[in-house]
Chain A
């Protein structure tokens, strides 16, 4: 295990983990311990807002893992994010208990309103946190596995795969909109009260959720690094660049794709589960195809195949979104986002981090060369007589 960790953590990865760790500690401290009058105080609304960005960053990371390294362009990853979110939302609904508007101890408000007589079978178990938490992984993971098994085995690739992932998320959108689907129809799940006995609105809970989001992002990043720096990671890149060649070398391409797609879907599910208690609602609009496309844009802006770029892209674009949609420019945000995507594709095809890495590459190659020479000069010289 240690060799995997050592291999995963190159200098930039250590810097990244250190930054996220610092944010995980500092932001909650500056929110909870520093008085609101101080310049250094971080207001609670910002903690929740940036917590949301971190969840988006984890979603972006999961997309980068499959798109940047394996060439699978999923335009439906928002579906896995939303499914994770719904699993968490169902737990939070069950925690409301008899404090709902209708005061029914078992049925959430929307079920009473829609004349449900009993809890649907698939709502059972969600009152237990461990069960809901495992569903956060399992539901997106199993769906991705089944979907991927059919798609990759039939060798659906490229734009065709992208289209069926869009269809997947759109189908789920339509399903979750229906009242008889049992997930609150177009209102979704909201009015959450407690998570593990703590008030979701409370300042302390919000700070804790923020820190947890940082930790989840860090773990997600380390898992991605462990995958992409392994031999498996090299095979993923090989599949991305020359899929038939990889097949003729004796690799079962569909198994590799299926593995990485499922891991990615589980990560997206966790991101969604952390997102829901911080924004306080989950509804079918999270399945909207546009959301998934937006997430792909974050990755493209930050730089695909870089992992850190995906995180940076998600945070930057969402910060811009918050900034522009709260002012006079709000009606034009989608035009700006579209223009951003076009400009990045044309002018910065490697994305921000990708471009920086490209500039650094010659310099880094020199350094590697130099260290290789040093190692060679340290090795004992072969006897010329041999």
Chain B
């Protein structure tokens, strides 16, 4: 069902969401091309997380279009599970890993395989699954921690594990909400490298406050404010934009 003529991987047009009269998203339009990495910045309450909620089906927009995969899928009609199955993975702002499972099991659960009750009851690990878990463990540098409970990892390691879970999920589009919050400078740098590595094969949308990190990514930046796009361009263009400076430094 071709609902739109766009070729974009993700296409948002004229989206509105209000919570009790407060317009969290106000005429938001944006497109993400296949293979692109995009950084989203904006002050608190700009609607960054709400935007992610809309894309992943947690929140339904009051109006507007949200299309995925070249306009073939209307995301506003689907729930979280369906959208995850279509290939949109999400990392939360607060790292949410399964604390009472081991690192390995966290990745295992994230694998994009049979998600039905019967399939998982009679499941046996296949060679392919083992190999992809090994690959991800390598990428996120947690090979030595594989048998540790996720709850015992450091904050930075949990962030990586969650990114690793996204990789296991093998989505087309990764939505990453504040991946370097609470990380050391070294970890921040490593995370930027990790995301650039991931972007070689997947499209990524990163929400982040940390300007050093956004600069390190070196990708197109969108600045949100009061639920709509304030400025878009390279980090230098956006950060020299007068309205962006005004919003960030107070009026």
A residues whose Cβ falls under 8 Å from a Cβ of B: 3-4, 227, 230-232, 234-235, 237-238, 241-242, 244-253, 255-256, 259, 365, 368-369, 372
Contacts and interface: CB of A to CB of B under 8 A. Distances in A.
A245 B169 CA distance: 12
A318 B90 CA distance: 47
Interface string B47-89: 0000000001010000000000000000000001100110001
A252 B121 CA distance: 14
B241 interface: no
16 contacts: A231-B120, A231-B123, A232-B121, A232-B123, A237-B98, A238-B109, A241-B100, A245-B92, A245-B98, A247-B80, A247-B84, A249-B169, A250-B115, A255-B117, A256-B117, A372-B147
A253 B81 CA distance: 9
Contacts of B90: 248
A232 B108 CA distance: 12
Given A249-B110, A250-B169, A255-B117, 20 more contacts: A230-B120, A230-B121, A231-B108, A232-B121, A234-B105, A234-B109, A235-B109, A241-B100, A244-B58, A244-B96, A245-B96, A248-B89, A249-B165, A250-B85, A250-B112, A251-B81, A252-B116, A256-B117, A259-B117, A368-B147
Nearest to A237: B100
Contacts of B122: 4, 230
B115 A252 contact: yes
Nearest to B165: A249
B123 A242 contact: no
B101 interface: yes
Contact of B115 (A234, A245, A251, A368): A251
A342 B118 CA distance: 39
Q: Which 4 pairs, one residue from A and one from B, show the smallest C-beta to C-beta distance? A: A250-B84, A231-B123, A232-B120, A231-B120
B124 interface: yes
A241 B117 CA distance: 18
Contacts of A369: 147
B99 interface: yes
B88 to A, nearest CB: 9
A247 B80 CA distance: 6
B99 A232 contact: no
Contacts of B56: 248
Which of A3, A251, A253, A372 lies at the interface centre, i.e. has the most chain B CB atoms within 10 A of its CB? A251
B73 to A, nearest CB: 15
Contacts of A230: 120-123
A241 B99 contact: yes
B72 to A, nearest CB: 19
A216 B116 CA distance: 28
Interface in B150-175: 165, 169
A232 B113 CA distance: 13
A365 B145 CA distance: 13
Q: Which of under 10, 10 to 19, 20 to 34, or 35 or more describes the interface residues of B?
A: 20 to 34
Contacts of A4: 122
A29 to B, nearest CB: 37
A255 B105 CA distance: 21
B188 to A, nearest CB: 23
Which of A234, A235, A248 lies at the interface centre, i.e. has the most chain B CB atoms within 10 A of its CB? A248
A104 to B, nearest CB: 47
A4 B100 CA distance: 22
B96 A249 contact: no
A141 to B, nearest CB: 15
Contacts of A255: 116-117
Given A245-B98, A250-B112, A235 B92 contact: no
B120 A235 contact: yes
B129 to A, nearest CB: 10
A297 to B, nearest CB: 23
A229 B92 CA distance: 28
Contacts of B92: 245
A179 to B, nearest CB: 42
B101 A248 contact: no
A248 B84 contact: yes
A63 to B, nearest CB: 19
B87 to A, nearest CB: 9
Interface in B97-146: 97-101, 105, 108-110, 112, 115-117, 120-124
Nearest to A245: B96
B81 A234 contact: no
Contacts of B109: 231, 234-235, 238, 246, 249
Contact of B121 (A227, A248, A249, A368): A227
Contact of B98 (A241, A252, A259): A241
Contacts of B80: 244, 247-248
A121 to B, nearest CB: 34
Nearest to A4: B122
B101 A238 contact: yes
A235 B101 CA distance: 10
A238 to B, nearest CB: 5
Contacts of B108: 231, 234
Contacts of A247: 80-81, 84
A244 B81 CA distance: 10
A278 B15 CA distance: 65
A244 B162 CA distance: 14
A361 to B, nearest CB: 10
Contact of B81 (A241, A252, A368): A252
A279 B224 CA distance: 69
A233 B122 CA distance: 11
A3 B85 CA distance: 29
A263 B248 CA distance: 55
B126 to A, nearest CB: 12
A255 B100 CA distance: 22
